[in-house]
Amino acid sequence: MKNNCCDEYTRSQLLRSAAAEAGKGLPAIEVGMPEPAGTGLSRRRFLSRSAGLALAVYGASKIPLSAFETGIAQAAPTDKVLVSVFFEGGIDALSLLAPVGDPKYAQLRPKLAEAPGSGTSFSEDSRLQWHPAAAGLATLHDEGKVSSFPAIGYDHPDQSHFTSRHYYEIGQLEVGYRTGWLGRYIDAVGDDENPLQGLSMDGSLSPMIATAEKPVAAIDSVDGYDLWSAVSEPIQSEMFNSFARFGSLPSDSPGLAQVRHATSQTDKLRTELGGVGKASSPVEYPDTDFGHKLAGLAAYLAFGLPMRVVTIRAAGSYDTHAGQAPDLERNLRETCEGLLAFQRDLENRGLADRVLTEVWSEFGRRPEENGSEGTDHGAAGCAFVIGSKAKGEMVGEFPGLSKLDGDENLRVTSDFRAMYCSLLEQWLGYDAASIIPGASGFARPPLVA
């Protein structure tokens, strides 16, 4: 854990990692803190041969693992996929979309203010300017593929990472819920035996896709079914030819036959699944873990794996209480370059009309910087909906810095639950009323073109 994070953040991380040890109970860390959704789900691991992935499957404990194998193989590839990318820790929206044209900005941020002209200006509001490290996002925005929420949140914002994140994950302002908003969607429309329908590319399950009944999955590695080798082409093909030959020669004992059988099956699977998860992308991704995961995700989509919702954490952590500038620069760049490459990859593969990406964070940061060249927890943050099918129009205005809320934080001009309702109805084609409590009370910003 980086030392510039707040204590509460560290504790909530601890609680979450403990939550991954399902069934062991949670350590008591802070009274009243909500437990992560999906904490009670049973977790089992298996290698899905049909998908070439080592999966940790959550929920549906009564179904034998072999059924998932069949379920994945038989599930039809989905029409629409929603990818959720999480800026963990509360990203500084006032750096990402910096209000350099707001007279109060430089005053509140003597050390951290972005210099006017250092990044592309934001075409929908002349006061705002993209962080230079967010150039990838700016590029997509200029192409009309990004809907921006410059001040998203909810009434009476909670400044606890854990509570606020929990609200975003479950899609309402309650602490006792056990299912995520996308988990409830999967429960409603999903398959009994296809855990890939809700996939966390993070090793542990995102509470956002925690279901009550239907199976969902997490993967540690996107590498799929490959055999490592330092040997490259043209020798590699010859090597695998010989490996396959080891599998096809005659046997004179059951032990040898067993080895030969496993060898030939392994080579067969390697050939069949060679494309899955391998970064054989038509475009170049940044050489980072986040980029690698997105490259894998695009390959899964191209392979037709039956996914509906996918969650993934953005590169790095954004709880920048101290020394914000370099950390934010690095992590934001990794994330935005990855997102741009992902979009280009989808476009290249002809998948761009099937995928919409939602980017969010649990809150924004305090407009006034603190004494350690960092920022503390704030209220309104930012969110983005990215894709060829994104409407590309700003939702909610930038409220300005001259009038802040009672805690000296940025005022909220759009509600995250309204964004969820629109994504459900306009993208996933499902009535939000049964997924988001109080859905009828929210406007439906147009998010899909």
Partner 1 sequence: MAIPQTTGRKNKSRRHAHRKQKHVWNDKHWRWVPTADGDWRVQGYVFHHKHKPAKHHFRGPGPKPVRRLAAAAALNPDPRPAGAYQGPFGHDQAVRLLNRAGFGPSLGQADPLASLGLVGAVQSLTRPSGAAILSGPAPVDDNGKPLAPADSWGHDHLWWLDRMVRSNQPLVERMALVFHDWFATSKRGVSKQQQMIDQSNLFRAAWGGSFLDLFKAVAIDPAMLQWLNGAENEKWAPNENFGREMMELFSLGADRGAYTEDDVREQARALTGWRNDWSNELGAHNFRFEPGWHDTGSKSVFGRSGNWGWEDACRLCVEHPLHPSFFVDKLWSYFVPTPAPEPLRASLIDTYVGSGWQIRPVLETILMSPALYEGPPMVKPPVVQLAGMLRAVGRYIDTTAWVWLCEPAGQVLFLPPNVAGWDDSRWLDTSRMRARWNIVDYVLDGISVDAWRRPYSTTETAEEALARALGSWGSPGLREEHRAELLEFARRAEKQVSANWQKGPYRAMRQNALLQLIGISPDLILQ
Q: How far is the CB of 323 from partner 1 (least distance, A)?
A: 23
Nearer to partner 1 by Cβ, of 84 and 288: the residue is: 288
Q: Is 402 near partner 1 (CB under 8 A)?
A: no
Angstrom distance (rounded) from CA 359 to CA 136: 14
Q: Is 22 near partner 1 (CB under 8 A)?
A: no
Q: How far is the CB of 293 from partner 1 (least distance, A)?
A: 11
Which residue of 107, 221, 271, 434 would you call a contact of partner 1, by CB under 8 A?
A: 221
Q: How far is the CB of 264 from partner 1 (least distance, A)?
A: 10
How many of the other CB atoms lie within 10 Å of CB of 28?
8
Number of residues that bind partner 1 (CB under 8 A): 42
Q: Is 258 near partner 1 (CB under 8 A)?
A: yes
Helix (H, G, I), strand (E, B) or coil at 55: strand
Tell me the two tokens of residue 95: 């750096």
CB burial readout 222-254, b (16+ within 10 A) else e: bbbbeeeeeeeeeeeeeebeeebeebeeeeeee
Angstrom distance (rounded) from CA 392 to CA 124: 10
Which residue of 23, 176, 234, 371 would you call a contact of partner 1, by CB under 8 A?
A: 234
Q: Is 47 near partner 1 (CB under 8 A)?
A: yes
Cα angle 215-217-221, degrees, rounded to a multiple of 5? 165
Angstrom distance (rounded) from CA 280 to CA 272: 14
Only segment of 135-143, 249-257, 304-312, 337-345 that touches partner 1 (CB under 8 A):
249-257
Which residue of 256, 282, 284, 397 would you call a contact of partner 1, by CB under 8 A?
A: 256
Q: Is 443 near partner 1 (CB under 8 A)?
A: no
- Identify whether 195 is preceded by a cis peptide bond (ω within 30 of 0): no
Instruction: Give the torsion sign (CA, 215, 218, 223, 227).
Output: negative
Q: Is 262 near partner 1 (CB under 8 A)?
A: yes
Q: Is 279 near partner 1 (CB under 8 A)?
A: yes
Which residue of 23, 32, 254, 350 would you call a contact of partner 1, by CB under 8 A?
A: 254
Smallest CA-to-CA distance from 53 within 196, 214, 192 is with 196
CB–CB of 94/112 below 8 Å? no
Measured in residues, the chain has a length of 449
CB–CB of 100/401 below 8 Å? no
Nearer to partner 1 by Cβ, of 334 and 425: the residue is: 334
Angstrom distance (rounded) from CA 324 to CA 373: 6
Angstrom distance (rounded) from CA 83 to CA 70: 24
Which residue of 124, 125, 289, 393 would you call a contact of partner 1, by CB under 8 A?
A: 289
Which residue of 265, 304, 397, 446 would you call a contact of partner 1, by CB under 8 A?
A: 265
N-term to C-term CA, the chain: 41
Q: Is 65 near partner 1 (CB under 8 A)?
A: no
Only segment of 14-22, 87-95, 195-203, 252-260 that touches partner 1 (CB under 8 A):
252-260
Q: Is 70 near partner 1 (CB under 8 A)?
A: no
Q: How far is the CB of 259 from partner 1 (least distance, A)?
A: 4
Mask 171-210, x = binds partner 1 (CB under 8 A)? ----------------------------------------
Residue type, 290: F
Q: Is 86 near partner 1 (CB under 8 A)?
A: no
Which residue of 1, 115, 239, 433 would you call a contact of partner 1, by CB under 8 A?
A: 239
Q: How far is the CB of 277 from partner 1 (least distance, A)?
A: 10
Q: Is 292 near partner 1 (CB under 8 A)?
A: yes
Angstrom distance (rounded) from CA 51 to CA 305: 7
Q: What is the DSSP letter of 426?
A: I
Angstrom distance (rounded) from CA 173 to CA 328: 28
Tell me the two tokens of residue 191: 């398959």
Q: How far is the CB of 98 from partner 1 (least distance, A)?
A: 31
Q: Is 229 near partner 1 (CB under 8 A)?
A: yes
Footprint on this chain of partner 1 (rule: CB under 8 A): 47, 49, 54, 221, 223, 225, 227-232, 234-236, 238-239, 241-243, 245-246, 249, 252-256, 258-263, 265-266, 269-270, 279, 287, 289, 292
